[in-house]
Amino acid sequence: MMRNLLFAAIILLFGACASVKETSIQQPLQVLVSDSLINTFEMQRKGIDFYATGYDDQWVLEIGFDKIVKFSSPKIDKKFEVNIKTLGEGLKGSDATYQVANGDGELTIIIKTKEKPKADKDALPFDVSLSFNDLHSKKEHTFTGEGEFYGAIALHDIWVLEQINGEKNEIAQGMQRPNMEIHLDKSQVMGNLGCNTFTSDVYFGREQISFSYLMSTKIACPNLQLEQRFVKVMSNTTFNYRFEALQLILENETDTLTFRKTD
């Protein structure tokens, strides 16, 4: 059912946000989707940033947005799980090695881009090698397989708007600069338009991010020009995204928005 709805290009009909004076009309996010994008959305809803499995399907590795590493295999006594506070900061791409440990064992994860991607359309794009040192049995096990990234953990932060299409927008007295807080684990973004607050559902991959219609409160603010422009540019829109130092840049054929990371 969900797959059919997605292929019909209607991802979700978003509920209205509670408002002070009135409720905005519900509007769906229109996105053309492929099989791979559907799978990406499904993994994101499960909170999975990176997933890998053996060629024989005898082991599974998951790294979540909450920075919890989970590994299971019939070769080890029990499932390995550890919360790593620093791992997410480096989980941005291939050709990387991560070492994690808890009271049960030590796990080394090596991720590399495949030099020659398989012709199989279901093949995953990264080679994954694992080494697990079982502290109970004193045995070391090695595993090989493939994996895929399903989200950029660096998006999961608070971002303040700096520019729209290269213009530094003036902030009226009594207003604040528009900002948004992206929650990858909830597929949701919320924030402040300058005076009114807003919420939106969000879908993302390794290169693109899509926003639903921004549902906002309707407080009678002194200057709504910037708010209205921000809502128009962001609503029901897909952007390519990239990071430059502490900046997040969203861009498509018509607009470029620059945000700065804040605590």
pLDDT at position 155: 83
Helices marked H in 19-64 — which ranges?
A: 35-45
pLDDT at position 24: 34
pLDDT at position 114: 85
pLDDT at position 168: 81
pLDDT at position 107: 95
Q: Please check whether residue 210 is in contact with residue 155, taking contact to mean a CB–CB distance below 8 angstroms.
A: no
Per residue of the chain (263 residues), what is the pLDDT tens digit?
333 333 333 333 333 333 333 333 334 444 444 566 667 777 877 878 889 999 877 899 998 877 789 999 999 888 999 987 656 554 555 678 888 999 999 999 999 888 876 666 668 888 999 999 999 899 999 999 999 887 666 788 899 999 999 988 777 777 889 999 998 767 789 999 999 999 998 877 667 888 989 999 988 887 888 899 999 999 999 999 999 988 999 999 999 999 999 87
Residue 70, helix vs strand vs coil? strand
Residue 89, helix vs strand vs coil? helix
In 45-69, which positions are buried (b, 16+ CB within 10 angstroms) versus exposed (e)?
eebbbbbbbbeeeebebbbbbebbb
Q: What CA–CA distance (Å, rounded) separates 41 from 48?
A: 10
Closest CA to 153 of 236, 90, 241, 226: 90
> How many residues make up the chain in this entry?
263
Please, what are the domains in the chain?
2-33+153-262 (2.40.128.270), 42-149 (no CATH)
pLDDT at position 22: 32
pLDDT at position 85: 65
